[in-house]
C-alpha cells in the first residue's frame, strides 16, 4: 500500500474516534513500547542503507511520540507497576504506558534522555553489559553489517553440517541474505554461531568495522548510565553478550543473567530487577529461563511478542510481558494507531 494512503487511513482511525475508543477500552492495560536507537534526522546520512536504521527512530519523531503518549496515556515507571497490579492506583480512564530501550546505545543518552527529562517520563534501559563503553558490535548486528557492506557477490557458509549460499550482489539480495542468515543462526547453539561468525569475518575481509558510525553503534558509558540513574531512569539486564537464551545451556543462562545483574547493581548502586530477552520472540526463551529469572530475583521480563498487558493478567505473565516495537518506518498517525491496537504493523 502507498505510504500516503496508509497515513490517511491511520489518520482516519485517530480522528474518527476509533483509537480513542480503543484507548478507553484498554484503560486497565499497560502498553509497553520498545525502542533501540534514537538519532537526529540530519545525522542519518547513509540513505542507501536505510535498512540498517530500521530500529532507529529520529529524535524529532521520538519527541512527537512522547508528547502524544504524555497526553493520551499514563506514563509509568516499572517500580510503580506493582501498584497497578494491586489496584492501588487511582484510575483516570487512560491506559498505562512504559517506555523501554533495548541494547544500551549511547544515542539513548544523547538524544532520548533529554526528551524524556523534558516531558517527565521515565525510560527503562536494558543493557548488554559486556558492551557498555565500547563500539563493539552485537553479533546479530555484525552479521547484518558485514553482509550489507561487503563487495562480494555471494557468501557460502556451512551451518550445523548444511551448506548455505547467500547471493549478495544487490541491496535487495543483501537485505534478504541478512534476514535469512540471522534467522538461521538465531536457532543455533552458541559454539555454532561463534564458528559461523569467524567464517563470515574471513569471507568479508573488505568490511572495516573501524568505519562504524558512532552515533549508531557506540554504547553508553557507565558514567552516562549513572547520570541517567540519578535522574530517575531505570536500568535492567539484556544479558552480558546478547546471545539469545535459546542459544545457551542452562548454566550459561544462569551465568549471564546473574553476571549482568551483578554488574548493573555494582555500577548504579540500584537493584536490577528487570530483564528483556534478546530478540524476544516466543522461540527465544522457555520455562527453564523463567525459573532461572525467578530464582535470581528478577521481577519482570519483557518479550518482543506484540500485544497489550491487561493489568489483571500481569502476575501470570510477569516473565513474558508483551511489547510493541517502534521502528523507523512508522509515521505519527501509524504510531498512534499501532499503540491503540487498531493497526497491526
Ligand atoms: Zn537486543
pLDDT of residue 177: 97
Whether residue 178 is found in the same domain as residue 37: no
pLDDT tens string 312-343? 899 999 999 999 999 988 899 999 999 999 98
pLDDT tens string 208-262? 888 888 888 999 999 999 999 999 999 999 999 999 999 999 999 999 999 999 9
Beta-sheet strands, E only, within the chain: 29-35, 37-39, 56-58, 74-75, 96-103, 123-127, 154-159, 162-167, 234-237, 274-276, 300-302, 309-310, 324-325
Whether residue 94 is found in the same domain as residue 228: yes
Q: In whole angstroms, give the CA distance from residue 237 to residue 132.
A: 12
Whether residue 74 is found in the same domain as residue 199: no
What cell was used for 244?
A: 539469545
Q: In whole angstroms, give the CA distance from residue 319 to residue 179.
A: 27
Q: In whole angstroms, give the CA distance from residue 274 to residue 77.
A: 12
Find the 85 Cα to ligand 1 centroid distance in Å.
Answer: 27
Whether residue 308 is found in the same domain as residue 190: no
Find the 231 Cα to ligand 1 centroid distance in Å.
Answer: 24
Find the 128 Cα to ligand 1 centroid distance in Å.
Answer: 8
Low-confidence ranges of the chain (pLDDT < 50): none
What cell was used for 83?
A: 501498584
Whether residue 172 is found in the same domain as residue 41: no
| 345 occurs within a structural domain | no
Where a domain ends, among 211, 234, 251?
A: 211
Q: Nearest 10 degrees: CA dihedral of 85, 89, 93, 95? A: -40
Find the 103 Cα to ligand 1 centroid distance in Å.
Answer: 5
Q: In whole angstroms, give the CA distance from residue 289 to residue 309.
A: 20
Cα–Cα nearest to 342, from 320, 327, 324: 324
Q: In whole angstroms, give the CA distance from residue 339 to residue 71.
A: 13
Residue span of the structural domain in which 197 resides: 139-211
| 264 occurs within a structural domain | yes
Q: In whole angstroms, give the CA distance from residue 311 to residue 269.
A: 29
| 157 occurs within a structural domain | yes
| 120 occurs within a structural domain | yes
| 173 occurs within a structural domain | yes
Find the 9 Cα to ligand 1 centroid distance in Å.
Answer: 31
What cell was used for 195?
A: 564458528
What cell was used for 76?
A: 509509568
Cα–Cα nearest to 22, from 11, 13, 35: 13
Find the 16 Cα to ligand 1 centroid distance in Å.
Answer: 36
pLDDT of residue 226: 98
Whether residue 104 is found in the same domain as residue 162: no
Whether residue 54 is found in the same domain as residue 183: no
Whether residue 163 is found in the same domain as residue 291: no
Find the 279 Cα to ligand 1 centroid distance in Å.
Answer: 6
| 280 occurs within a structural domain | yes
Cα–Cα nearest to 89, from 73, 70, 76: 76
Find the 242 Cα to ligand 1 centroid distance in Å.
Answer: 6
Whether residue 202 is found in the same domain as residue 238: no
Whether residue 24 is found in the same domain as residue 107: yes
Q: pTM here?
A: 0.94
| 284 occurs within a structural domain | yes
pLDDT of residue 124: 98
Task: Give every CB contact of residue 120 below 8 A, 6+ residues apart in sequence.
Answer: 70, 75
| 310 occurs within a structural domain | yes
pLDDT of residue 47: 61
The secondary element (H helix, E strand) that includes residue 343 is none
Where a domain ends, among 211, 236, 255?
A: 211
Where a domain ends, among 162, 185, 211?
A: 211
End-to-end CA distance of the chain: 12
**CATH value at residue 292:** 3.20.20.370
Whether residue 87 is found in the same domain as residue 35: yes
Domain count, the chain: 2
Whether residue 145 is found in the same domain as residue 114: no
Cα–Cα nearest to 31, from 86, 81, 104: 81
Distances (CA, A) of 36 to 2, 71, 107, 196: 26, 23, 9, 25
Amino acid at each position: 500500500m502507498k505510504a500516503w494512503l496508509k497515513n490517511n487511513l491511520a489518520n482516519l482511525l485517530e480522528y474518527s474516534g476509533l483509537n480513542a475508543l480503543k484507548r478507553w477500552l484498554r484503560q486497565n492495560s499497560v502498553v509497553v513500547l520498545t525502542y533501540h536507537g534514537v538519532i537526529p534526522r540530519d545525522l542519518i546520512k547513509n540513505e542507501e542503507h536505510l535498512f540498517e536504521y530500521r530500529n532507529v527512530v529520529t529524535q524529532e519523531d521520538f519527541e512527537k511520540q512522547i508528547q502524544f503518549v504524555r497526553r493520551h496515556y499514563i506514563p509509568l515507571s516499572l517500580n510503580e507497576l506493582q501498584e497497578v497490579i494491586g489496584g492501588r492506583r487511582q484510575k483516570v480512564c487512560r491506559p498505562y504506558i512504559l517506555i523501554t530501550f533495548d541494547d544500551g546505545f549511547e544515542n539513548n543518552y544523547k538524544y532520548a534522555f533529554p526528551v524524556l527529562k523534558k516531558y517527565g517520563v521515565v525510560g527503562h534501559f536494558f543493557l548488554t553489559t559486556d558492551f557498555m563503553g565500547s563500539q563493539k558490535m552485537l553479533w546479530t548486528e555484525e552479521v547484518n553489517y558485514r553482509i550489507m557492506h561487503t563487495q562480494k557477490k555471494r557468501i557460502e557458509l556451512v551451518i550445523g553440517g548444511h551448506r548455505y549460499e547467500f547471493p549478495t550482489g544487490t541491496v535487495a539480495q543483501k537485505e534478504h541474505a541478512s534476514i535469512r542468515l540471522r534467522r538461521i543462526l538465531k536457532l543455533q547453539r552458541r559454539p555454532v554461531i561463534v564458528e559461523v561468525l569467524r567464517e563470515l569475518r574471513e569471507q568479508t575481509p573488505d568490511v572495516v568495522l573501524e568505519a562504524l558510525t558512532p552515533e549508531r553503534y557506540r554504547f553508553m558509558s557507565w558514567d552516562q548510565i549513572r547520570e541517567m540513574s540519578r535522574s530517575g531512569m531505570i536500568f535492567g539486564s539484556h544479558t552480558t553478550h546478547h546471545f539469545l537464551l535459546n542459544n545457551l545451556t542452562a548454566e550459561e543462562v544462569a551465568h549471564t543473567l546473574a553476571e549482568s545483574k551483578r554488574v548493573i547493581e555494582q555500577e548504579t548502586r540500584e537493584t536490577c530487577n528487570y530483564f528483556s530477552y534478546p530478540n524476544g520472540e516466543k522461540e527465544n526463551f522457555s520455562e527453564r529461563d523463567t525459573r532461572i529469572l525467578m530464582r535470581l530475583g528478577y521481577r519482570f521480563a519483557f518479550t518482543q511478542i506484540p500485544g497489550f498487558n491487561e493489568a489483571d493478567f500481569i502476575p501470570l505473565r510477569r516473565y513474558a510481558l508483551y511489547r510493541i516495537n517502534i521502528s523507523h518506518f512508522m509515521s505519527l498517525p501509524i504510531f498512534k494507531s499501532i499503540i491503540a491496537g487498531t493497526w497491526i504493523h
